Structure 1
């Protein structure tokens, strides 16, 4: 059978592109080597799928071209996807910071996407090895099928146990497209022996403001100390801005100076650990008290020493040795360079009919539903363009 478009990848972006084009009249085939569609969707958000974020804006994305995502995001918004969710009767709730989740299961989102594909007459073939991709006479040929339009929606290499690979980059290179070096993002950071005392308090979590490097944004959420280093939402967010050699700075209490002075007034015969334990977990308070090493009772500690302690609490600095890699990375940063794509249609400038969408592209969102919104928006952009080319 001849198709108008072949979409490689049955994840969020690929299925969104497929039903958008299919419902507009295009004959669409989706191919994926996985045995299930939407495998990453199924495990997202603790199984409840954080499917979008109401605070979505271009500044919540990382790319060599910070303007690239604006067009697609403005034309397919979180409210558009939410309308689809509600049309399918899926109950949802806002958890925090604009993050929207299913009340029930992530399976509902996958079922919704597959239902929309069925309504658009989309054919989906799973468990299919792509093999070599041919291109001649204005048609792309994949796994015995042919179409004048081809969409790269195979994601990035994060979470390889789910079947993720870097095939998107191989396909892009085949057609002369450039790749921004990929790297794990939204990923835990590892610490060396110089931070062994913090690794020893594995399981301790507390609210922080975390920043990677000197210019990265600060994220105010929870940090988690692990036996390998640092994790938790604030750390995952900061990790996307981290480069080898950068420091990661945690502010444990912006008002640390005031807190310590108040403690000195109220309990002058106590030591620093007791003051820290009033606003930090006990095990963390103990490690910090040992590191700060105030030699006197609080009542005998001069302002300069309290200021030094407060400085360490507002700028606790770590030098990560690396990340936990793609196995623990929620997404991949980098990818297919956006300069070679139309920001409106996601079509390759040099190869008519070739598109790249979703995580395969050098657009990486913050934690909290932003990457799914990019999948929906970029998929919708490509799907709309596929249908338009038919006319």
Structure 2
């Protein structure tokens, strides 16, 4: 089979590229259905982009690499596409946009666009033995629709990273990159819960509270969730992308409140009340009980001096913890690292050394924050490659 463009991966980036590349396009994926990560994302509603999408919200060895693609296909462009297809949406916190009904609306939109473009989709199909040829690329295909050799003028790798292997994630993109002598940066799980070997938070599993979580010098103010295995919630997932093994994280349990002044005022007005009773006005009661087992929180407010209150507040706002690790790729929403951006054109996503070879989406060393940023990178990087292919 001869095609103009072969795309490996029928996820967000692969389908977006297929819908816009032009010519005869073949899309290959080993999954049973396309866009599986889209389908499960955002609690089944797909957080498809973010109003505040900006290059500063992305991690990469080259922080400037994402600027070109993000500027030439923006969140506003994708919102316009969603609206043109009649998909209702709404904004949640922090600029996060979700489908009103189902993430399946985005998958269906992509499939319609691919059909209109005439792109062929081969599912439950594996691709292997990638090689360069005088006319582009060759590889072997094995699946229910076709088994044999493929020749393609362009090869687009959109097979994602290693996160959520139960969804079929593999390191195929990195294998293809190395096969063509492109460097791959170190990869690790991102947007992932922290674990603690001693199960120290098991007794307060399910408790959530607003917090500021800091890792690697970067802080996020969102919800913190205590779990049987450790810590989760949006603030933790965000911070995890900046954390390195062995490092501390810092938790501020009262980021928006001058709790010292509050406690002093309460001491003046209600000095006979237990300190724990007053703390429970600011923090979940079960969390206060847990803290009381770790710290000496006994006595009435009247018994607490300014210095003692200050020491307590310092602990609450600078709680240092050292995670044992993370839950890894099993639950990670993204893979940090990937195909080295130094080997790719930021304008086209094409290899600088292998003409016609493109890497897009999560396969590349560009990782966004939680909240629709990674989908926007998928759309933007896919459009950069598609426009280059289409000429």
TM-score range, shorter chain: over 0.9
Measure how far apart 1:264 and its partner are.
1.6
Task: Encode CA deviations 1:276-320: one digit per residue, 9 max, x unaligned.
Answer: 101111100111233231454211211111000000111112110
Name the counterpart of 1:327: 330
Task: For 2:171 and 2:113, locate their aligned partners in 1 and report how far apart those are by CA, in whole Å.
Answer: 28
Name the counterpart of 2:8: 8
Task: Please state whether the residue corresponding to 1:336 is helix, strand or coil.
Answer: coil
Instruction: Provide the TM-score with structure 1 as the length reference.
Output: 0.95
Name the counterpart of 1:158: 163
Task: Please state whether the residue corresponding to 1:132 is helix, strand or coil.
Answer: strand
Task: For 1:183 and 1:204, locate their aligned partners in 2 and report how far apart those are by CA, in whole Å.
Answer: 28
Task: Please state whether the residue corresponding to 1:180 is helix, strand or coil.
Answer: coil
Whether the aligned pair in 2 keeps the contact of 1:294 and 1:305 (CA below 8 Å) is: no
Task: For 2:309 and 2:253, locate their aligned partners in 1 and report how far apart those are by CA, in whole Å.
Answer: 15
Task: For 1:181 and 1:89, locate their aligned partners in 2 and report how far apart those are by CA, in whole Å.
Answer: 41
Name the counterpart of 2:146: none
Name the counterpart of 1:344: 347
Task: Please state whether the residue corresponding to 2:186 is helix, strand or coil.
Answer: strand
The one of 167, 170, 173 equivalent to 2:175 is: 170
Whether the aligned pair in 1 keeps the contact of 2:275 and 2:300 (CA below 8 Å) is: yes
* Structure 1 consecutive aligned stretches of length 4 or more whose deviation exceeds 2 Å: 289-292, 294-297
Name the counterpart of 1:74: 71
Tell me whether 1:189 sits opposite 2:194 in the alignment.
Answer: yes
Task: For 1:227 and 1:308, locate their aligned partners in 2 and report how far apart those are by CA, in whole Å.
Answer: 28
Task: For 2:299 and 2:107, locate their aligned partners in 1 and report how far apart those are by CA, in whole Å.
Answer: 60
Instruction: Provide the TM-score with structure 2 as the length reference.
Output: 0.95
Task: For 1:365 and 1:104, locate their aligned partners in 2 and report how far apart those are by CA, in whole Å.
Answer: 25
Name the counterpart of 1:111: 108
Task: For 2:121 and 2:162, locate their aligned partners in 1 and report how far apart those are by CA, in whole Å.
Answer: 22
Task: For 2:197 and 2:30, locate their aligned partners in 1 and report how far apart those are by CA, in whole Å.
Answer: 38
Task: Please state whether the residue corresponding to 2:2 is helix, strand or coil.
Answer: coil
Name the counterpart of 1:87: 84
Whether the aligned pair in 2 keeps the contact of 1:7 and 1:14 (CA below 8 Å) is: yes
Q: Bigger CA drift: 135-144 or 349-358? A: 135-144
Where in structure 2 are the equivalents of 1:22-37 lying within 5 Å?
22=22, 26-37=23-34
Task: Please state whether the residue corresponding to 2:79 is helix, strand or coil.
Answer: helix
List runs of 5+ in structure 2 lacking aligned partners. 142-148
List runs of 5+ in structure 1 lacking aligned partners. none
Name the counterpart of 1:136: 133
Task: Encode CA deviations 1:296-348: one digit per residue, 9 max, x unaligned.
Answer: 42112111110000001111121100000111101110110100000000000
Tell me whether 1:374 sits opposite 2:377 in the alignment.
Answer: yes
Task: Encode CA deviations 1:347-375: one digit per residue, 9 max, x unaligned.
Answer: 00010000000000000000000000000
Q: Bigger CA drift: 321-330 or 252-261? A: 252-261
Task: For 2:159 and 2:344, locate their aligned partners in 1 and report how far apart those are by CA, in whole Å.
Answer: 16
Task: For 2:297 and 2:73, locate their aligned partners in 1 and report how far apart those are by CA, in whole Å.
Answer: 55
Task: Encode CA deviations 1:203-229: one digit per residue, 9 max, x unaligned.
Answer: 00000011113x2x2111100000000
The one of 290, 293, 297 equivalent to 2:293 is: 290
Tell me whether 1:53 sits opposite 2:56 in the alignment.
Answer: no
